């Protein structure tokens, strides 16, 4: 396997040579372009999952991986670069979903197909879109919180905060829409709402701190759109001396979030192993390389799509959803002070 590092573009290039795997297409260059490094998922899960699947489906393909580090201009440079390198397919998770329309047009002008990945591209249809059901994710985490508040006897009219993702991310907009469905149909009031620039946990923490000063004990829950923003909100609550903490939602099932759920500091997250979507993107890529048209399971933004439905994780089902399914291991999560909670939940004996 060939690996090439580039500091300027944060890129890795890998080629797989698994002769035993069946391949119906000749060697081709495929680009896998991810949006940022604020989340570790791209290097730890998405790219390894895509690369492993491509090694099986197209062992002679060259896979070019680059990460734009939340810089839309850099991502455009990367698009131009991989096209110049002869990429036939670009799997693109855009930094800016609106700006990505121009990237699709650039690729199509060079007869390069674009598979939108994780975040949709609303304004110009890509050739395919693979993701988890982002609107469903937003509705699921918020409805889980609403159901919990009702079960705990929290009275009607009590207030929650809503922390959304990046305003330039169309997937964040879909998550927000799903959250709105659950909260608008509930007995509870949204006290304030925030779109978090670049999904930055520090920005979410800063905003949450201001709202805690403003509303204090009126805050009976926080719907955060992912685990990073949830962590920021929890840090703000702890800094303000909140005890007990109101329930906080999340999404992504990061190790840090799983630990916070085990300790009781975070209420829920979403288990969505990125390898599932990465595998689907590889299968669509292989189909295109064969000159065939992949089947559309649904359509979103006039783009043939496949959307996966994830599971909500709380303390009640974290053992069965995360550990029994092998998504994470006790050795990775049940460290230090979290070991006691893992034993309480039956994760450790």
- CB 264, CB 318: distance < 8 Å: no
Strands 11-15 and 62-67 turn out to be antiparallel
Say how far apart CA 272 and CA 134 lie, in whole Å: 11
Q: How confident is the model at residue 26 (pLDDT cuts 50, 70, 90)?
A: low
Helix axes 100-109, 72-84, angle to 10 degrees: 10
On the CB side of 109, CA atoms within 13 Å amount to 9
Q: How many helices (H) and strands (E) does the chain have?
A: 13, 14
pLDDT tens digits, 245-298: 999 999 999 999 999 999 999 999 999 899 999 999 999 999 999 999 999 999
The pLDDT, as a whole number, for residue 27 is 83
Q: How confident is the model at residue 41 (pLDDT cuts 50, 70, 90)?
A: confident
pLDDT tens digits, 124-164: 999 999 999 999 999 999 999 999 999 999 999 999 999 99
Residue 165 has pLDDT above 60, yes or no: yes
- Provide the mean pLDDT of the chain: 92
If one compares 244 and 309, the residue with the highest pLDDT of the two is 244
DSSP H/E element including 263: helix 255-263
Residue labelled with tokens 């609106």: 98
Global pTM? 0.82
């Amino acid at each position: 396997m060939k690996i090439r590092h580039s500091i300027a573009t944060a890129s890795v290039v890998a080629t797989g040579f698994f002769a035993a795997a069946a391949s119906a297409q000749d060697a081709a260059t495929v680009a896998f372009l991810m949006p940022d490094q604020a989340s570790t998922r791209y290097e730890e899960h998405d790219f390894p999952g895509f690369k492993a699947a491509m090694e099986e489906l197209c062992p002679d393909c060259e896979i070019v991986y680059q990460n734009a580090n939340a810089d839309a201009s850099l991502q455009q440079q990367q698009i131009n670069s991989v096209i110049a390198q002869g990429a036939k397919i670009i799997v693109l998770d855009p930094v800016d979903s609106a700006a990505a329309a121009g990237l699709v047009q650039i690729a199509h002008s060079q007869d390069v197909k674009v598979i939108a990945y994780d975040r949709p591209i609303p304004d110009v249809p890509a050739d395919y879109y693979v993701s988890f059901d982002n609107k469903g994710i937003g509705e699921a985490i918020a409805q889980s919180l609403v159901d919990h508040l009702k079960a705990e006897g929290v009275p009607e009219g009590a207030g929650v905060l809503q922390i959304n993702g990046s305003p330039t991310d169309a997937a964040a907009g879909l998550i927000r829409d799903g959250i709105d469905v659950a909260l608008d149909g509930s007995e509870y009031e949204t006290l304030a709402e925030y779109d978090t620039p670049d999904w930055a946990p520090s920005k979410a923490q800063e905003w949450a701190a201001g709202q805690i000063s403003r509303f204090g004990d009126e805050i009976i829950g926080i719907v955060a759109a992912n685990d990073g923003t949830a962590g920021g909100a929890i840090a703000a609550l702890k800094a303000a001396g909140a005890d007990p903490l109101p329930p906080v939602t999340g999404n992504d099932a990061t190790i840090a979030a799983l630990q916070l759920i085990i300790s009781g500091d975070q209420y829920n997250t979403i288990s969505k192993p990125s390898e599932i979507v990465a595998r689907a993107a590889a299968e669509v890529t292989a189909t295109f390389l064969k000159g065939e048209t992949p089947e559309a399971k649904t359509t979103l933004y006039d783009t043939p799509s496949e959307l996966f439905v994830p599971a909500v994780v709380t303390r009640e089902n974290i053992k069965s959803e995360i550990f029994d399914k092998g998504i994470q291991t006790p050795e990775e999560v049940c460290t230090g002070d979290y070991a006691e909670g893992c034993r309480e939940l039956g994760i450790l004996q």
